[in-house]
Every structure is written in C-alpha cells, then in structure tokens.
C-alpha cells in the first residue's frame, strides 16, 4: 500500500496550483531549497579549541617525581649492570625496571638496573630470555 501525497498550495510559491504534492507544506522544488540550508557545511569557528593532553596531570606529576629519583640513582650507578650484547657501551644511560613500572614499582630503586641503550633494548625485546637471566621478573611474585 502506497501513501498518497498530500496535495495543496505551497507556502513559498507566489502562484501555485492548489493540487501540487507537498512535503512539509512545500512543493518539491521549495522543499529541496529549504532543506539545503541545513545540509550546507558550517564555516569553522575562529575559536581555538584546547588540545588533548598527551599525558594526564597525574601521570605528569608521577614522571616529574620519577625523573628526580632517576637522575640521582643513575649518577650512583654509571656502569651497565646487564652487559648482555656485544655492542654494550658499558656506560649506563637507561634505567631498566625489573618488575615493571606499575604503581609504586615506578619509584622503587631496589628494582632498578642500570643499562646502556643496547642492553636495555635487548632486554625489552627478549622478555623470556631476560626472565631466565634474572634481568626481569614477574611483578606478581613475592620476594621475601
């Protein structure tokens, strides 16, 4: 069953037939013209929108605290403690977190290992071997 179009006089036409099919009180021409105003893209506003922060304020505060701890710790541990790859430079520039960085482990220096860039990269890319050699451990195990 097909619906019959409402017939009548268009509200926008000056001289129109009273028997034109109407949509929302307008003939097809004027209805399309009327709706096109809604379809037009709006010009971008001149307002500056705030950017999404790359880090939350909470994480930013944690990082600032960590960088202070790391700076003093790396001075006391200048030699690479891992020395697993032949390219090892023996100069520690990274800190490897043996139990990860979750929660307070991020600041716990007893789980830090001094590492050169090459050794640190190797340990991160080979987690099974790192666990076997004792350079990484599961953070869920309890060491007494």
Q: Tens digit of pLDDT for each residue in 14-32?
A: 766 677 788 888 888 888 8
pLDDT computed for residue 1 by the predictor: 60
pLDDT, greater one: 8 or 98? 98
Determine contact, residues 115/96, Cβ cutoff 8 Å: yes
Cβ neighbours for 22, distance < 8 A, ≥ 6 positions apart: 5, 6, 7, 8, 10, 31
- 90 - beta bridge partners? none
- 47 assigned to some structural domain: no
The percent of residues above 70 in pLDDT, for the chain, comes to 87
> Which segment of 39-43, 122-126, 132-136 scores lowest on mean pLDDT?
39-43
Determine contact, residues 6/28, Cβ cutoff 8 Å: no
Task: Supply the range of the domain harboring residue 70.
Answer: 57-133
Determine contact, residues 57/81, Cβ cutoff 8 Å: no
Q: Are 86 and 117 part of one and the same domain? A: yes
Task: Check whether 42 has a pLDDT greater than 70.
Answer: no
* 75-86: average pLDDT: 95
- 49 assigned to some structural domain: no
Q: How many domains does the chain have?
A: 2
């Amino acid at each position: 069953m097909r619906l019959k179009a409402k017939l009548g006089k268009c509200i926008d036409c000056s001289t129109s037939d009273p028997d034109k099919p109407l949509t929302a009180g307008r003939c097809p021409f004027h209805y399309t013209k009327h709706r096109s105003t809604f379809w037009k893209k709006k010009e971008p506003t001149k307002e500056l929108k705030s950017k999404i922060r790359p880090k939350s304020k909470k994480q930013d505060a944690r990082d600032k605290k960590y960088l202070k701890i790391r700076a003093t710790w790396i001075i006391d541990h200048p030699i690479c403690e891992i020395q697993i790859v032949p390219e090892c430079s023996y100069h520690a520039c990274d800190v490897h977190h043996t139990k990860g960085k979750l929660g307070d482990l991020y600041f716990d220096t007893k789980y830090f290992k001094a590492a050169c860039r090459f050794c640190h990269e190797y340990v991160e890319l080979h987690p099974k071997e790192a666990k076997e050699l004792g350079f990484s451990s599961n953070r869920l195990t309890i060491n007494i």
